[in-house]
Amino acid sequence: MSERNPKVEKLEALLDQLGNFAVEAFHYIALFVIGCMVMWSAGHTVYEILTVKKFATIDDILLLFIYLELGAMVGIYFKTNHMPVRFLIYIAITALTRLLIADIQHTHKASMDLVIITGSILILAFAILVVRYASWTFPSVIRDKHSEKPLPEGKTPRPQDDELA
């Protein structure tokens, strides 16, 4: 077998570090931009409610809840490098509830759309139960990515069962 050239190995290690740095930099910049957009949109909605509408409808309040969940999700992702799937499901439920309320307010009649939206909300609520049960039954250790504490005995650093890496 031929041995590898130490200069090539050093170059590969340097390029690997540079690539990791570039990915991390893009990751943080993208998260920061997303967080800023969520804050900008929420601020614009509040400004519009206060100046144009003079009062908040249930539709506006649910939209603010969506912004709150998005902001919390970005904050958690910044802190732990893991995205809780439950937050995405909560956002979907809130968005469907907002759609349901808007549909009822505008059409004032029962339709198959109401059944479909309500069924979708029920399925998402069931999905939250499944995810919560799975994370309770098969827990993993989630640490702050800046933490220096070692992992407990027998634990491996893997994403939480109810989270995406």
pLDDT tens-digit series, residues 31-63: 899 999 999 999 999 999 999 998 888 888 999
Instruction: Report the mean per-residue pLDDT for the chain.
Output: 83
Residue type, 17: Q
Task: Determine the 3-state secondary structure of 68 from DSSP.
Answer: helix
Residues 141-163 have a mean pLDDT of: 54
Residue percentage of the chain with pLDDT more than 90: 43
State how far the Cα of 62 lies from the Cα of 85, in Å rounded to an integer.
19
| Per-residue confidence (pLDDT) for residue 141, from 0 to 100 | 62
Q: Taking the domains of the chain in order of start, what are their residue ranges?
A: 6-145+156-164
| Per-residue confidence (pLDDT) for residue 102, from 0 to 100 | 86
State how far the Cα of 155 lies from the Cα of 139, in Å rounded to an integer.
10
Q: Write out the two tokens for 11.
A: 């170059």
Residue 29 clears pLDDT 60, i.e. is over it = yes
Residues 120-129 have a mean pLDDT of: 96
| Per-residue confidence (pLDDT) for residue 152, from 0 to 100 | 56
| Per-residue confidence (pLDDT) for residue 4, from 0 to 100 | 77
Residue 105 clears pLDDT 60, i.e. is over it = yes
| Per-residue confidence (pLDDT) for residue 6, from 0 to 100 | 85
Task: Determine the 3-state secondary structure of 92 from DSSP.
Answer: helix
| Per-residue confidence (pLDDT) for residue 45, from 0 to 100 | 94
45 near 63, Cβ under 8 Å? yes
Residue percentage of the chain with pLDDT more than 70: 83
Q: Write out the two tokens for 68.
A: 């709150």
Residues 99-126 have a mean pLDDT of: 90
Which carries the bigger pLDDT value, residue 147 or residue 71?
71
| Per-residue confidence (pLDDT) for residue 2, from 0 to 100 | 56
Residue 163 clears pLDDT 50, i.e. is over it = no
Half-sphere exposure of 94 (CA within 13 A, CB side): 19
Task: Determine the 3-state secondary structure of 147 from DSSP.
Answer: coil
- In whole angstroms, what separates CA 77 from the centre of its chain? 7
